[in-house]
Structure 1
Amino acid sequence: MAWEVTRTVRVRLDVPDNRKSDLHATNSKFQYCANHTADWAWRYPEEDCVTSKSEAEAAIYDDLREETDYLHANLVQKAIKRATDDIDNCVDRLTEGENTSRPQYDTFSIVYDKRAASYYRDKVSLATVNGRVECEYELPYDVEGTPHGEYLLNDDYSFSTSTVHYDSEADEFYLHAAMKREIDASSPEKAEHSKVLGVDCNVDDHIAVTSTGQFVGNADYFNHTRHEFENRRASLQQTGTRSAHLTVQRIGDRFGRWSEDYLHRCSNELVEEARRHVCTHIAFEDLEQIRDRISDGKKFQQWAFRELQRQVAYKAEEDGIIVDTVEPQYTSQQCSMCGCTLEENRDGQHFECLDCSYTVNADYNAAKNVARKLALKLQRGQKSPAGGAFCQYALKSGTMTVNATDVASDTPVSAERESTDKPTA
């Protein structure tokens, strides 16, 4: 089975001084096309919004070309696509009952496909309002171990539709190069060829805990760092001086950059744990709507589980490891040893089953339940429970084989479940 892997590399462009204005003018017209499309396609609440790129192109493409003095055709098409895609996302949010508004575009961001740009390993040629501009890449002296060396200069990866951005403070242009590669990965064809790593994400204590007993990251440290950064920014904003305002601008979204790097390290640990145990799947709880169901406390509303899952998904993809989600109900209350499900089983980070007296870290227990849920889900996707399909999930002490003949649903069972493939004393 072939997998398509995409990596984005940020590389600085050496733009000739006399051509910088051409890129700025091109961006202005690109953003004009996107805003005009958004104005035309946004019909809420009177009518249904238009989310079809082909419908939008049929209606306004010719006008946009004329109004922008015939901006490159593919740039107009990409601007229309950006707006209709964003409106489609807005419609999804409205359907879920969330508040949103018409997209607006005022930053420097131009989308280039291979018809509007010619990509090379050392430079790129970009279409502008004044012909093409050729920009060389400014690469590190030693690219070994960097994204530039691993993807940009790697012949196994090919260029795909990318974007050009502008840093106004540094007066520098950047290409966010999308690099694609097809790899052969042996995806399991049947449930019995699968092994699942379960992951429980947390707001307190550890960022994540796996079904193999790996404790990843420090959620308390993460929350503390965010709190300290927000306090500093709020203090500067209250000061109100020009110097304080400039400091706020200079530090920008420093926590955002720090947190992304921190979560990268956590996601690397999770993927490495899956590799070490030769897992075919990584299971997370489906927490998409969790903010609607949990406390409105700031640390809950700013929980970084979505970014962590996104990073794990794209990193695991390169190894052919599938990332999937399961329903989160009762994973923290159910005993992973005997199946007894009681709210009283869990007390903070301590889990003690009132039925079988199994005692363990509560998040580790939940991670095993997450893994087992996906194992059952995989079986049901293969054949009926009576078919005898089985699936394993990884534990600290080995693997657990879940047999759908014995366990046909996720309802609690009384039989001992946590047996492993390793001999016991």
Structure 2
Amino acid sequence: MADTEYCRRTAVTGLSVSPTDATRLRELVEEWKRGCQLAVNEAWGVCHTRSEVQQLAYDRLREETALGSQHAVLATHRAAEAIKRARQREGEKPEFTSPTVAFDTRTMTVFDDRTVSLTTTGERVRCDLELAADGGYQDQYLDDGKWEPAKSTLHYRDGEFTFHLGFRTPKPAIDPPTEGATVLGVDLGVENLAVTSTARFFDAGELNHRREEFERVQASLEATGTRSAARTLRQTGNRLDRFVRQRLHEVANGIVAEAEQYDCELIAFGELSEVHDLLPEAGPLHEWLFDRLLSFVQYRAAERGIAVVEVNPEYTSQRCMECGFTHPQNRNLDENHFECLKCEASAHDDYNAAKNIAFRCVRRGPLSSRGLGASACALRSGLVTPDDGFMPYAELSEAPRSD
């Protein structure tokens, strides 16, 4: 099964480690950092995919570090990920200083007695997981057989070890509904990361501000050219990465929550392959953000039985949702405003686009041309259907919760 076909969760727990085992784990941390750096040094400017970096650097890691065979493989993969991120940011060659080590099911074993066995550079160590006596959120993954251990990370800080224990479970098979579905439309953009057809806005202001600030700091530090400046730049980049991931998780959760509130069986996005043409102001970073956000929404929606689809976004920013008139001058991009030249209906341009994206899934009759079976577009105050037009929630037998 492909890696993308799983839902994933992480349970963070402390580790109870003996002095001898602590020494072994600290040695592993140092060898891991060294191995990752060796792999980066080999591959930088040459290749960046996991398979390519592994083929290029694996033998050297086995010869020059004390890492076992599987940890050498994982180190080349971590190096490939770091190179890929650096390329996306047009940054400097990565340097590995963080005291962490990656594990997978070949290098760790989780036991029913709440212990974990970890591969080191020598003998394996077996540590107790430090869990709350009265139960914590970790128990729902440790006790539920549908969740299996997956890629995990050991962290060492201030003399203490913590373990970010990964779990995965197959995504439930979600088939697009065959008839009568309600769809939530989502428009992606630069100023607003996402806007839904129910008029929920997810602002990108802070994200854009931090990105611009990072680029300013990056230019200044790169001009300095010192080792201290390079270290500061890495730390700043890592902080930005953490903020971006957190923001994407928040937005994905919000979109899925919006779909649940309005009883939507479908969430529709514009096809990301068209982003470059339809959003010329979006750079490579935004294209990456949109792709990551879509993947986050997909696995969260799958857990709740909601299908996620992509539709052709062409003209969704120019078409009037009220009368259907389509014209480039309907949209004032500078003011983020949409006003129809024909019927004079007006709205925020991203909101109008989100409604059009949703309506792309809706067709007259029981099935759309895509076989999605969406019959209604969810708005904040009601539903829109091609046959009956707008219907306020107050007139429907099943209205969503008030907001």
TM-score, with normalisation over the residues of structure 1?
Answer: 0.67
1:353 aligns with 2:340: yes
Q: 1:180 aligns with which of 155, 168, 171?
A: 168
Measured in 2, the distance between the counterparts of 1:153 and 1:247 equals 38
Deviations 1:321-354 (A, max 9, x none): 2333334432211112232211211233332211
CA deviation vs aligned residue, 1:5-40 (integer Å, no higher than 9, x gap): 221233333333332332243345556666677788
Q: Which residue of 2 aligns with 1:160?
A: 149
Partner of 2:256: 271
Work out the CA distance in 1 between the residues paired with 2:170 and 2:343: 49
Matched with 1:130 is 122
C-alpha separation in 1, matches of 2:282 and 2:151: 38
Matched, 1:373 2:366: no
Matched residue type, 1:137: L
Give, in whole Å, the separation in 2 of the partners of 1:33 and 1:156: 35
Q: Which residue of 2 aligns with 1:337?
A: 322
Which residue does the alignment assign to 1:110? 101
Question: Is the partner of 1:137 in helix, strand or coil?
Answer: strand
- Deviation at 1:196? 2.0
- Per-residue deviation, 1:108: 4.5
Tell me, which stretches of 5 or more residues in structure 1 are unaligned? 384-388, 404-416
SS at match of 1:131: coil
Question: How far apart are the structure 1 equivalents of 2:104 and 2:147?
Answer: 12
Partners of 2:280 and 2:201 in 1: how far apart? 23
CA offsets 1:178-209 (integer angstroms, 9 cap, x no match): 21234756x335542543211123433x5432
Cα–Cα, structure 1 residues 272 and 138, in superposed 2: closer, same or farther, change >3 Å?
same
Q: Deviations over 1:210-253 (max 9, x none)?
A: 1123x2344445555777898899999999xxxx9999999885
Counterpart check, 1:17 vs 2:19: yes
Conservation of the 8 A alpha-carbon contact between 2:25 and 2:120? yes
Query: How has the CA–CA distance of structure 1 residues 402 and 132 changed in structure 2, closer, same or farther, with 3 Å as cutoff?
Result: farther
Give deviations 1:25-84, integer Å, cap 9, x for gaps: 334555666667778888959xx989379x949x967x8656656x5444344446x279
Say which SS state the counterpart of residue 197 (structure 1) adopts. Answer: strand
Report sequence identity in percent.
31
- What SS does structure 1 have at the residue aligned with 2:128? strand
Unaligned runs of 5+ in 2: 396-403
Per mean C-alpha deviation after superposition, the further-off stretch among 153-162 and 331-340 is 153-162
Structure 1 stretch 340-349 or stretch 324-333: which is displaced more? 324-333
Question: Which string of whole-angstrom CA distances, capped at 9 and with x for unpartnered residues, describes residues 140-181 of structure 1?
Answer: 57755x4x35x444424533332333345x343332222123
Seen in structure 2, the aligned counterparts of structure 1 residues 271 and 234 have a Cα distance that, compared at 3 Å, is: same
Q: Secondary structure at the match of 1:129?
A: coil
Match of 1:212 among 189, 194, 198: 198
Size of the alignment, in residue pairs?
A: 383
Change (3 A) 1:31 1:323: farther
How far is the alpha carbon of 1:271 from its aligned partner?
Answer: 1.0
Instruction: Sort the Cα spacing of 1:390 and 1:136 in 2 relative to 1 into closer, same or farther, 3 A.
Output: closer
Superposition CA RMSD, Å: 5.3
